[in-house]
Structure 1
């Protein structure tokens, strides 16, 4: 479509900015999360050629420290993150939003505010996020620590944590908290489904992520710009310790980062009025936002129907097939987050187009909930620099719980307002697996497992199993002999026994 025939309310991305503040750099600034986001936003506005006064809406992505009631901010924090950033820019937006928890957040905000701009409810929108976890951990408790506390006035649309479906009391009672063991359960389920033994699957994960390290090594904003071989990634060692079987440290999203990213969205009419050149404009050709069933409710723990369906729908709305995409950035907190989308779309893990633009969360950095903002910025850079086709960004939140997709291109395209409600209803209509309550020692068939080493020695084991009626249970053990049996990788499909104890199920024995 010729730009001259576009509706002036068509949303368009016109600026992006990224920043990092590594502890070991000579120009280390000790920036807070607010300062990182403000610096990234300044760069995004400069990239767009816009003044901060043009911004009527700001939306911020939550830092980890404000993502739950259990979060702590040892160096302090803002009472109103979006308006703190706006204040530093000299902006006075009419609307300020703080998004819910989850790595889907940046892409979801792009999808949402594209609709807001199209409807005339916003003209120029600034989206941003950041994490200063490295600085917080380095200076917590020190006499020379910076003070990140600040209070600003102004309205805030705080959407809350949005943790529904991401965790529940049953899992917490069993100690199944934190992303590594939760994802590890899914990873082993996939390993079993494809018929790979432990060694072969470790090799597959290493071969998947080795090219990611090459991209990170070339990225000036990467937290770990080191190229590694598949063998290095897959082999457990002193430096690459086991976090949760089957994940060594190099396979896990790196949260110790100081990073920020921002993008600017406006309407075609506003872009015309501001004189933004056509070759700086990036259009959202397709998008979709879907969510998965709660973890233990899912019929198949080895797959992610919501992520795959969101990907298919976004491509369909863009009028594209997978082969038409020039580049991908698939959310990569753990291998299965990438592999589940590859499985569903028929993408080879070694696809020559590559599966990351940043270097991925374990190597570029898992900047809290904001990683995908960096991916979107890199997508904009890629299509602006002449990528031969559109770029696909997939953003994941929770435990493969929420998935948001955006398809980006410099080719002008009319914007269609779409609804994901019917597709979500279709996903929600599948029969959920019931979670059983044990009333005595019971046998079950082992569906998946993980073993998590303890800092003080030994390990905790988690297993998911099916009872004879098809219902599911979670059980936990701190018996090292059980952990040793599970780590052989031959127990899926065999029988185990568990008994209830003080609100949780204790794993008694595992067969082979």
Structure 2
């Protein structure tokens, strides 16, 4: 007779979150210290009969990479600060998918008996770093010394000729790439610009209301922005890249940290953690799209988001209809829109959506906690499941352009088949197979716009057009506008996508001009 594996099922037993919003550098804390404070909260949150016993049982420390400070070995620094001696230490790469990806890996180790109690953590102190930067202090006093304090985050997968080619045309940052997806999705859904702008403002107004009620949120207790304020472009809400004004972009200048403690049901019982604190991890899954965002099949969907949601739900043995609440990583409105499109649910409550797409409010209102945003989503999902707000919740973490995705399903009880499958992981191929058009660097002749965005200056004046185009043969290219009058045309035309014209290469830069404006003189 097969043994019952239910007690090997992974459970979250403790959560902790810290916000430090002081504007005085005397009160600043480096990421490791913020995480240590969040750990103290998480330890107390377990309600265990002996908190010291829990601490001494921690044998795994997994840390999400921080943007703030280039630690030489953050897991070791953190372990020393919180007084644990783990046999397993891991520091992630840079991507917002890592909170869920690490929870997946931890859960697998717990089921196999390789980990007793895991400390999963991450934190940022970008607000404090900015305060010190304003004073000209590259090395904040008292912070852990590092080999290279100037080193910042970067996507190490972005290499090759295409990167330099894209940057030559002004493409390269998330503020440029996510609008390409938003505009393509708008066109695919046959939305007008006005309808699309209204939808994004409605979605982010809902998120702002949520964030204002979450104590760990950067905007906690503040008056949430309204739909009108979010949609209206002005001095405090300048246009960045169309269609996203400032308050529809992730806000990263925050000091936040989050910690999740995970172990098996058997270990939780041995530690004296009340069952009311247990939240089960039923399943997880993930994959990624091509890191070369110029080699995506299209810009109105994300194969990786689709595949990750499907894999996560399938691994957890549930359907999308059974999930009562989602938290979709939302650095820009298009990510929850792409997820909602695949899930077959309305984007906004105004359109009839009844399930949450966010429990904490997105990276604009809650705060774009670097790679660690979804750690806070895991904390809030755990909190609300404990309170009985719902029985099944799904967190989807996103990173890249959008490139990397990982999801997890949480519940108050073991999965129905836990006796034989206490946890299931569905990690798909590292690169999700998605046929894409060929990329050409020096196109010439007839062409059309596949998608686009318009970059604006700090006075909300159009600066340049960033165009993704197609040749009649279906090849893809990057271009800018061929003259100021073309920029003005792209800004004012009802729908640039699908419009035909001519592309030429001048000095290594591709320039596009629509039919009807005449040749460039």
TM-score normalized by structure 1?
0.89
SS of residue paired to 1:183: helix
How far residue 505 of structure 1 moved from its aligned partner, in angstroms, is 2.0
Structure 2 spans left out of the alignment, 5+ residues = 148-152
2:184 aligned with 1:189? yes
SS of residue paired to 1:452: strand
2:315 aligned with 1:317? yes
How far residue 371 of structure 1 moved from its aligned partner, in angstroms, is 0.2
117, 124, 141: which is aligned to 1:147?
A: 141
Residue aligning to 1:338 = 336
Q: CA separation in 2, counterparts of 1:148 and 1:301?
A: 46
Distance 1:358 1:506, change over 3 A: same
More divergent stretch after superposition (460-469 vs 113-122): 113-122
2:39 aligned with 1:32? no
SS of residue paired to 1:362: helix
156, 160, 169: which is aligned to 2:164?
A: 169
Residue aligning to 2:57 = 54
399, 403, 406: which is aligned to 2:405?
A: 403
Q: CA separation in 1, counterparts of 2:154 and 2:462?
A: 34
Residue aligning to 1:126 = 119
Does structure 1 conserve the Cα–Cα contact (< 8 Å) formed by 2:286 and 2:426? no
What are the superposed Cα offsets for residues 4-43 of structure 1, whole Å, 9 maximum, x if unpaired?
9544432221111000001359x98211111111111221
225, 234, 238: which is aligned to 1:237?
A: 234
Residue aligning to 2:150 = none
Residue aligning to 2:129 = 136
How far residue 395 of structure 1 moved from its aligned partner, in angstroms, is 0.6
Q: CA separation in 1, counterparts of 2:438 and 2:187?
A: 22
More divergent stretch after superposition (400-409 vs 46-55): 46-55
What are the superposed Cα offsets for residues 173-216 of structure 1, whole Å, 9 maximum, x if unpaired?
32212111100111000111111121111001111121111111
Distance 1:33 1:418, change over 3 A: closer
Residue aligning to 1:354 = 356
Structure 1 spans left out of the alignment, 5+ residues = 66-72, 154-159
Residue aligning to 1:491 = 496
- 1:211-226 alignment, distance < 5 Å: 211-225=206-220, 226=223
Distance 1:492 1:34, change over 3 A: same
Residue aligning to 2:82 = 89
More divergent stretch after superposition (222-231 vs 263-272): 222-231
Residue aligning to 1:298 = 296
Q: CA separation in 1, counterparts of 2:181 and 2:462?
A: 23
SS of residue paired to 2:27: coil
What are the superposed Cα offsets for residues 61-83 of structure 1, whole Å, 9 maximum, x if unpaired?
11224xxxxxxx5xxx5321121
How far residue 147 of structure 1 moved from its aligned partner, in angstroms, is 2.2
Q: CA separation in 2, counterparts of 1:454 and 1:241?
A: 9
2:453 aligned with 1:450? yes
What are the superposed Cα offsets for residues 274-305 of structure 1, whole Å, 9 maximum, x if unpaired?
11111111111121111113312122211012
How far residue 507 of structure 1 moved from its aligned partner, in angstroms, is 3.5
Q: CA separation in 1, counterparts of 2:229 and 2:22?
A: 25
Q: CA separation in 2, counterparts of 1:195 and 1:459?
A: 27
Q: What RMSD, in angstroms, separates the aligned Cα atoms of the two structures?
A: 2.5
Q: CA separation in 2, counterparts of 1:316 and 1:323?
A: 12
398, 420, 423: which is aligned to 2:427?
A: 420
How far residue 256 of structure 1 moved from its aligned partner, in angstroms, is 1.1
Residue aligning to 1:462 = 466
Q: CA separation in 2, counterparts of 1:78 and 1:214?
A: 35
Q: CA separation in 2, counterparts of 1:458 and 1:187?
A: 18
Q: CA separation in 1, counterparts of 2:271 and 2:501?
A: 67
Does structure 2 conserve the Cα–Cα contact (< 8 Å) formed by 1:80 and 1:152? no
Does structure 1 conserve the Cα–Cα contact (< 8 Å) formed by 2:286 and 2:311? no
What are the superposed Cα offsets for residues 308-339 of structure 1, whole Å, 9 maximum, x if unpaired?
22112222232322232222111111111000
Q: CA separation in 2, counterparts of 1:487 and 1:404?
A: 36
Distance 1:315 1:23, change over 3 A: same
Q: CA separation in 2, counterparts of 1:215 and 1:392?
A: 17
Q: CA separation in 2, counterparts of 1:78 and 1:420?
A: 29
How far residue 113 of structure 1 moved from its aligned partner, in angstroms, is 1.1
Q: CA separation in 1, counterparts of 2:279 and 2:462?
A: 52
Residue aligning to 1:68 = none
Distance 1:116 1:170, change over 3 A: farther
Does structure 2 conserve the Cα–Cα contact (< 8 Å) formed by 1:21 and 1:28? no
TM-score normalized by structure 2?
0.87
Q: CA separation in 2, counterparts of 1:121 and 1:502?
A: 58
Does structure 1 conserve the Cα–Cα contact (< 8 Å) formed by 2:185 and 2:299? yes
What are the superposed Cα offsets for residues 338-377 of structure 1, whole Å, 9 maximum, x if unpaired?
0001000111122223211111111001100000000000
Q: CA separation in 2, counterparts of 1:285 and 1:324?
A: 13
More divergent stretch after superposition (410-419 vs 327-336): 410-419
Matched residue pairs, number? 488
Does structure 1 conserve the Cα–Cα contact (< 8 Å) formed by 2:295 and 2:436? yes
